[in-house]
């Protein structure tokens, strides 16, 4: 079978004439069946979400399989004789759950969630309520499978070095034992490959490394996690400066980088059977942020999220060093009935080299919009709510509660991954929706962020919302987060989306830098460095004068960037050519500024290769205010207010439809208060002027 689609989980029928397997050829994972004699394929399942992990049902003409039917994870039994399909086991949201069927009996073995952990249970398909737990509390047990005769269950568990241990436990219960590996029998002779990474002065340098034999065979780390770059297709891991690997004999291609502002170093090495080979790579950095007085931060990742590894705060420090990333903010999050990494909330750790990590929180109030609580040291509750969520107590909830909690506890709340597409959301609010409460919360709060750069959304679309908020005088903070999962294999690197903040008086601690982020003394990026100033060296977060002002911009990028733009009050006033990969360019000019508002610079387009992992290059400075912080041009503010009111109207209609007869006075009050504040900014409606903000609001459809 040779298909461009993902295909998994092969299982023969009892007579060996059929092959059951999982395929994504129709765009979603489903169970398929191939007749091995004729080669004919047939799709067997087409349920909500995904189906996979097909297993023969013992002593019956049927098939067991998994269905991820959010928010549950179900084991189904398909009876081919009766044509029936029923659920024989159901659990909560458990992405790492898998199972196996006993070779002769009606038992299944599966790993089920228990808080942050997974334990192995054996269950009777005819009586799914009763089950026997086979692993002790605190286990993180994955991929269970019966032995050939069904007397034992095998499973794997990750150790503290993110390597896997094969375990065995009797099916009827007992103690788990590690399966001893007495000898590794490789398919071909092996040797050793030592990889050394150094900086331009010849000193050892931490690095992100990818090793691949010339035939395409990728090599994994022996200490620490191995990841897969979903943008460029490279497996990668981290080294503190030198690593020695046991590899099959052959010729190897090695790549190394240290964050997006380095140039990717490459080398080839030959390893002979029973002998040692080596590769030495020198990594050139285009810009030393620390030396320039900046601190880099990724403010939204997740530590553990049902991936194959078990990660601690200390496990992230090699990632930070290898990505030249100073600060990392993992967020504890909820899987409805499970609160992942809740015990870590508020913990922090700093390495001797100055890399810092602090556990925060993501409030996943799905329908209302997800809110990251940067710098949280205790949890906000309820952790989730909404019209389709399980209800615990009152249904009258609002993200405004999270905003108030953040204000009381010195937390920076930020709407994470808010806008999916590059189009201006206000052109079609249904096609490119804004999170339900983002606009009302941002209008009513002086302590709120919007995640401008994230790997799963588009910064150009997000910027359009941010610009409107700035135009009505809200000093909404731009934040940046990769939203990667350190325990997943397929993920962009930490720091792929990051911000750089000026270090105040060279202070680099988390609280000092978070104060700089709140003050807007930052630029946000997927790779390039963008240093912007205007007038008498006013930089992001500062104030400049009105009228004709000189500006200067430095752009540094390891990858090509298509365009550079100067933006005033949300409008591009100057368009400039970008840079080639590896180039540093200084731009300068003059701009005529209005009496009020703000100015910023951005660069975007191009890229798509290492060391970056984003689809496009993007960088944006935080605003420099004209005259005074939060100043507004009346006509600009009026147009922005009309757009924001339109978005609030849309959200209110959407909420009323979703909640139905359930009263939501708290949410309704937030919408009303934000609308009232914005209406005060509307200029009088010129009679007969179809271009006025009020006329635009009257003629724009409010819902689809």
Average pLDDT over residues 239-253: 97
pLDDT at 600 over 80: yes
pLDDT of residue 695: 53
Residues 6 or more apart whose CB falls under 8 angstroms from that of 442 comprise 415, 448, 450, 469, 474, 476
The bridge status of strand 371-374 relative to strand 412-415 is: antiparallel
pLDDT at 456 over 50: yes
Give the phi and the psi of residue 466 in degrees, each rounded to 5: -60, -45
pLDDT in tens, 565-595: 999 999 999 999 999 999 999 999 999 999 9
State the Cα–Cα distance between residues 66 and 9, nearest whole angstrom: 11
Tell me 304's DSSP state: -
DSSP H or E stretch at residue 52: strand 50-56
Say how many C-beta atoms besides its own lie within 10 A of residue 628's C-beta. 9
**CB distance 542 to 624 below 8 Å:** yes
pLDDT of residue 49: 84
**CB distance 301 to 293 below 8 Å:** no
Closest to 397 (Cα-Cα) out of 436, 434, 361: 436
Say how many C-beta atoms besides its own lie within 10 A of residue 444's C-beta. 17
pLDDT at 687 over 80: no
Residues 6 or more apart whose CB falls under 8 angstroms from that of 657 comprise none
**CB distance 13 to 78 below 8 Å:** no
For all residues of the chain together, what is the average pLDDT? 94
**CB distance 563 to 604 below 8 Å:** yes
pLDDT of residue 110: 96
State the Cα–Cα distance between residues 248 and 272, nearest whole angstrom: 8
Q: DSSP letters along 254-297, please?
A: EEEE-STTEEPEEEEEEE-TTSEEEEEEEPEES--TTTTTEEEE
Most distant CA pair in the chain, distance: 88
pLDDT in tens, 287-336: 999 999 999 999 999 999 899 999 999 999 999 999 999 999 999 998 88
pLDDT in tens, 477-521: 999 999 999 999 999 999 999 999 999 988 999 999 999 999 999
Binning pLDDT at 50, 70 and 90, where does residue 700 land?
very low
**CB distance 120 to 134 below 8 Å:** yes
pLDDT of residue 697: 46
pLDDT of residue 689: 60
- First-to-last CA distance in the chain? 44
The bridge status of strand 356-358 relative to strand 327-334 is: parallel
Helix axis angle, 665-679 relative to 634-659, nearest 10°? 160
Residues 6 or more apart whose CB falls under 8 angstroms from that of 263 comprise 257, 283, 284, 285, 286, 558, 582, 611
**CB distance 614 to 231 below 8 Å:** yes
DSSP H or E stretch at residue 253: strand 250-257
Cα–Cα distances (Å) from 622 to 83, 452, 475, 567, in that order, read 60, 10, 10, 11
Task: Identify how many contiguous H helices and E strands the chain contains and give both numbers.
Answer: 8, 47
The radius of gyration of the chain's CA atoms, rounded to the nearest angstrom, is 28
Higher pLDDT, residue 158 or 138: 158
Considering only 252-261, 415-424, 606-615, which range has the smallest mean pLDDT?
606-615
190-285 fold: Immunoglobulin-like (2.60.40)
**CB distance 534 to 546 below 8 Å:** no
* CATH C-level class of 526-628: mainly beta
The bridge status of strand 547-557 relative to strand 543-544 is: unpaired
pLDDT of residue 12: 94
Helix axis angle, 634-659 relative to 459-471, nearest 10°? 120
pLDDT of residue 701: 40
Average pLDDT over residues 406-428: 97
**CB distance 398 to 371 below 8 Å:** no
Side by side, the strands of the sheet bearing 583-593 are 529-534, 547-557, 583-593
Structure tokens at 285: 């950095």
Cα–Cα distances (Å) from 372 to 90, 131, 299, 541, in that order, read 30, 38, 9, 22
pLDDT of residue 686: 59
Q: Is 505 helix (H, G, I), strand (E, B) or coil?
A: helix
Q: Is 440 helix (H, G, I), strand (E, B) or coil?
A: helix
Binning pLDDT at 50, 70 and 90, where does residue 447 land?
very high
Strand partners, 154: 145, 168
The bridge status of strand 327-334 relative to strand 294-301 is: parallel
Residues 6 or more apart whose CB falls under 8 angstroms from that of 183 comprise none
The bridge status of strand 99-101 relative to strand 84-91 is: unpaired
State the Cα–Cα distance between residues 542 and 538, nearest whole angstrom: 6
Closest to 466 (Cα-Cα) out of 512, 516, 524: 524
* CATH C-level class of 7-178: mainly beta
pLDDT in tens, 533-547: 999 999 999 999 999
Structure tokens at 623: 């605003």
**CB distance 159 to 148 below 8 Å:** no
Determine what percent of the chain is predicted with pLDDT higher than 70.
97
Instruction: Give the CB-side neighbour count of residue 356, counting CA atoms within 13 A.
Output: 20
Average pLDDT over residues 248-274: 97
The bridge status of strand 583-593 relative to strand 561-568 is: unpaired
Higher pLDDT, residue 63 or 82: 63
For the chain, the 3-state helix, strand and coil shares in percent, each to the nearest 5, are 15, 40, 45
Strand partners, 296: 500
How buried is residue 459: exposed, middle or buried, by Cβ count under 10 Å (0-12/13-18/19+)? Answer: buried
pLDDT of residue 693: 53
**CB distance 670 to 400 below 8 Å:** yes
Considering only 325-339, 462-476, 562-576, 681-695, which range has the smallest mean pLDDT?
681-695
Binning pLDDT at 50, 70 and 90, where does residue 126 land?
confident
């Amino acid at each position: 079978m040779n298909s461009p689609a993902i295909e998994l989980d092969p299982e023969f029928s009892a007579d060996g004439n059929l092959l059951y397997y999982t395929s994504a050829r129709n765009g979603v994972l489903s169970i398929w069946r191939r007749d091995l004699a004729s080669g004919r394929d047939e799709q067997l399942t087409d349920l909500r979400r995904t189906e996979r992990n097909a297993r023969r049902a013992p002593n019956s003409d049927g098939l067991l399989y998994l269905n991820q039917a959010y928010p549950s994870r179900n084991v189904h039994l398909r009876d081919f004789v009766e044509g029936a399909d029923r659920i024989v086991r159901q659990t909560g949201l458990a992405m790492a759950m898998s199972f196996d069927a006993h070779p002769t009996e009606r038992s299944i073995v599966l790993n089920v969630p228990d808080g942050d952990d997974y334990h192995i249970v054996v269950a009777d398909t005819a009586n799914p309520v009763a089950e026997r737990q086979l692993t002790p509390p605190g286990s993180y047990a994955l991929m269970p499978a019966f032995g050939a005769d069904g007397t034992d269950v095998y499973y794997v568990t990750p150790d503290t070095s993110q390597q896997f241990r094969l375990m065995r436990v009797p099916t009827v219960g007992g103690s788990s034992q590690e399966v001893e590996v007495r000898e590794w029998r490789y398919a071909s002779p092996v040797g050793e490959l030592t990889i050394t990474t150094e900086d331009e002065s010849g000193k050892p340098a931490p690095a992100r490394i990818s090793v691949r034999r010339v035939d395409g065979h990728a090599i994994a780390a022996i200490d620490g996690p191995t990841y897969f770059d979903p943008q460029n297709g490279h497996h990668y891991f981290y080294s503190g400066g030198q690593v020695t690997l046991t590899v099959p004999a052959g010729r190897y291609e090695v790549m190394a980088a240290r964050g997006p502002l380095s140039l990717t170093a490459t080398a080839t090495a030959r390893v002979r059977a029973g002998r040692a080979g080596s590769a030495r790579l020198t990594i050139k950095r285009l810009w030393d942020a620390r030396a320039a007085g900046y601190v880099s931060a990724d403010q939204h990742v997740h530590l553990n999220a049902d991936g194959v590894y078990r990660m601690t705060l200390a496990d992230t420090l090699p990632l930070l060093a290898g990505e030249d990333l100073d600060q990392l903010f993992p967020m504890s999050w909820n899987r409805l009935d499970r609160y992942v990494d809740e015990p870590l909330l508020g913990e922090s750790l700093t390495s001797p080299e100055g890399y810092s990590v602090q556990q925060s929180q993501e409030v996943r109030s799905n329908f209302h919009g997800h809110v990251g609580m940067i710098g949280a040291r205790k949890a906000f509750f309820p952790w989730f709510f909404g019209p389709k969520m399980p209800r615990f107590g009152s249904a009258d909830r609002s993200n405004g509660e999270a905003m108030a909690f953040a204000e009381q506890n010195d937390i920076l709340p930020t709407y994470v991954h808010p806008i999916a597409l590059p189009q201006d959301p206000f052109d079609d609010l249904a096609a490119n929706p804004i999170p339900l409460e983002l606009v009302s919360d941002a209008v009513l709060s002086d302590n709120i962020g919007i995640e401008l750069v994230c790997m799963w959304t588009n910064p150009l679309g997000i910027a359009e919302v941010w610009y409107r908020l700035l135009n009505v005088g809200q000093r909404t903070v731009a934040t940046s987060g990769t939203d990667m999962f350190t325990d997943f294999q397929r993920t962009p690197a930490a720091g792929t989306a990051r911000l750089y903040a000026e270090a105040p008086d060279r202070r680099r601690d988390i609280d000092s830098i978070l104060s700089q982020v709140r003050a807007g003394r930052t630029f946000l990026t997927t790779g390039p460095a963008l240093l912007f100033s205007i007038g008498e060296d006013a930089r992001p977060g500062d104030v400049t004068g009105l009228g004709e002002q000189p500006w200067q911009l430095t752009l540094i990028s390891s990858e090509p960037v298509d365009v550079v733009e100067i933006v005033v009050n949300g409008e591009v006033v100057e368009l400039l050519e970008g840079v080639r990969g590896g180039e540093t360019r200084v731009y300068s000019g003059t701009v005529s500024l209005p009496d009020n508002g703000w100015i910023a610079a951005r660069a975007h387009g191009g890229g798509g290769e290492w060391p970056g992992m984003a689809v496009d290059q993007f960088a944006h400075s935080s605003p420099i205010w004209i005259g005074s912080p939060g100043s507004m041009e009346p006509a600009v503010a009026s147009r922005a207010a009309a757009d924001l009111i339109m978005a609030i109207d849309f959200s209110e209609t959407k909420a009323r439809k979703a909640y139905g007869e359930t009263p939501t006075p708290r949410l309704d009050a937030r919408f009303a208060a934000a609308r009232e504040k914005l209406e005060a900014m509307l200029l009088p409606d010129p009679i007969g002027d179809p271009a006025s903000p009020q006329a635009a609001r009257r003629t724009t459809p409010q819902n689809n």
